[in-house]
């Protein structure tokens, strides 16, 4: 029996900060699954900072979202009907057809996940792309080692909150994080084990960070003033893993770079950008180690949940504005 469902389309490309008018909710009808297909009812969909870049019609590491077509992104859901013997009704699967209530997918497009020990939503956060991003950035890009001092910007977000904890597990001696409210600062220090947390809204981040250097590793989620501050505070031969620069995502004109890039030379600093999809071969090791850290209580996470497809855009806009603590999710 065909399934009537709703999905979010990109109605127009944002200029600067996105607004609700850039999106449209569309009702569609999905047929029953054929051979090798599954019909999935999404239970959680992910909204992530990288999605803002895909709303621009520019060449990047992934194609831009098409206008008048559904957005996509990480999601988990329940199989309702299956044309594949390996996937049964009731199975929980992970896939990339988010921003919609239901999805008709080929069986190769989904991965069955185990929800006996962790909730399904964890596969969009701590055991998903954000967690793997943190792991790759620290182990392969910045190569954290015992005794390091590590600074993580955007430390109360999905990636940053995991990065600080993983750095500790890898032997870092001092973990510094930045976030944008007293509540987030308290979460970092009281629950996640950060040694120092800086509220970037309480004063210039450079002045706050300087007394806590020298920094061996900077995990950059913000760019802009945070990157400049980290370079000033960096130790000789420091390493920077450039994961994201959310501070620039909604800029309507080119943003000036840090004024102190000459220090990359004088301090012999390595700055390397990375995309987690280039490191899929790290997933096995990540799942093994992160799963054990979770089981041992050495890895904690938090989710900010918004309910309903009608509020998916609100969740995304809130994410860009820093409303989330931990992973921002939409529950359907």
- pLDDT 10s digits, 205-218: 999 999 999 999 99
Distance in angstroms (rounded) separating the CA atoms of residues 329 and 1? 29
Looking at residue 62, its pLDDT comes to 86
Q: Percent of the chain scored above 90 by pLDDT?
A: 93
- Asked whether the bond before 139 is cis by omega within 30 degrees of 0, the reply is no
Q: Which residue has the higher pLDDT, 249 or 258?
A: 258
Looking at residue 232, its pLDDT comes to 98
pTM of the model as a whole:
0.94
Using the predicted structure, report yes or no on whether residue 252 has a pLDDT greater than 90: no
Looking at residue 25, its pLDDT comes to 98
Question: 222: which DSSP letter?
Answer: S
Pair 107, 133: CB distance under 8 Å: no
Q: pLDDT confidence of 119, banded at 50, 70, 90? A: very high
- At 316, is the secondary structure helix, strand, or coil? helix
The residue with tokens 């991003």 is 133
Q: How far is CA 206 from CA 35, 55, 65, 226, 227, in A?
A: 58, 31, 36, 7, 9
What is the average pLDDT score of the chain? 96
Looking at residue 2, its pLDDT comes to 87
Using the predicted structure, report yes or no on whether residue 126 has a pLDDT greater than 90: yes
pLDDT in tens, 227-245: 999 999 999 999 999 999 9
Looking at residue 180, its pLDDT comes to 96
Taking Cα atoms as reference points, which of 200, 203, 202 lies closest to residue 223?
200
pLDDT in tens, 166-199: 999 999 999 999 999 999 999 999 999 999 999 9
pLDDT in tens, 77-86: 999 999 999 9
The secondary structure of the chain in percent helix, strand, coil, rounded to multiples of 5, reads 35, 30, 40
- For 138-176, the DSSP string reads IIIIS---TT-EEEESSTTBHHHHHHHHHHHHTT-SEEE
Q: How far is CA 123 from CA 46, 75, 204, in A?
A: 10, 9, 35
Looking at residue 255, its pLDDT comes to 77
Looking at residue 59, its pLDDT comes to 86
Q: pLDDT confidence of 246, banded at 50, 70, 90? A: confident
């Amino acid at each position: 029996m065909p399934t009537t469902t709703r999905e979010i389309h990109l109605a127009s490309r944002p200029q600067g900060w996105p607004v609700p008018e850039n999106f449209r909710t569309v009702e569609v009808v999905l047929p029953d699954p054929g051979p090798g297909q599954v019909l999935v009812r999404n239970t959680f969909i992910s909204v992530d900072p990288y999605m803002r870049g895909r709303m621009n019609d520019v060449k990047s590491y992934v194609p831009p979202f098409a206008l008048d077509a559904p957005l996509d992104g990480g999601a988990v859901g329940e199989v309702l009907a299956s044309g594949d013997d390996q996937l049964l009704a009731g199975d929980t699967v992970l896939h990339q057809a988010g921003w919609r209530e239901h999805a008709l997918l080929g069986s190769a497009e989904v991965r069955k996940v185990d929800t006996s020990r962790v909730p399904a939503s964890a596969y969009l956060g701590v055991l998903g792309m954000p967690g793997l991003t943190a792991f790759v950035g620290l182990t392969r890009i910045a190569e954290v080692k015992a005794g390091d001092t590590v600074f993580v910007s955007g430390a109360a977000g999905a990636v940053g909150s995991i990065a600080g904890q993983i750095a500790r597990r890898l032997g870092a001696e001092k973990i510094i994080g930045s976030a944008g409210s007293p509540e987030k600062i308290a979460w970092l220090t009281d629950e996640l084990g950060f040694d120092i947390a800086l509220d970037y809204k309480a004063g210039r981040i450079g002045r706050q960070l300087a007394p806590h250097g020298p920094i061996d590793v900077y995990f950059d989620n913000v760019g802009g003033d945070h990157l400049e501050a980290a370079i000033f505070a960096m130790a000789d031969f420091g390493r920077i893993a450039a994961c994201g620069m959310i501070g620039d995502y909604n800029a309507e004109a080119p943003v000036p770079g840090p004024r102190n890039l000459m220090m990359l030379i004088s301090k012999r600093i390595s700055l390397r950008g990375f995309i987690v999809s280039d490191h899929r071969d790290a997933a096995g090791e990540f799942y093994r180690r992160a799963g054990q850290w979770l089981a041992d209580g050495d890895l904690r996470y938090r989710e900010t949940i918004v309910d309903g497809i009608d509020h998916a855009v609100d969740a995304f806009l809130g994410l860009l504005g820093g409303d989330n603590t931990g992973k921002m999710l939409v529950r359907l």
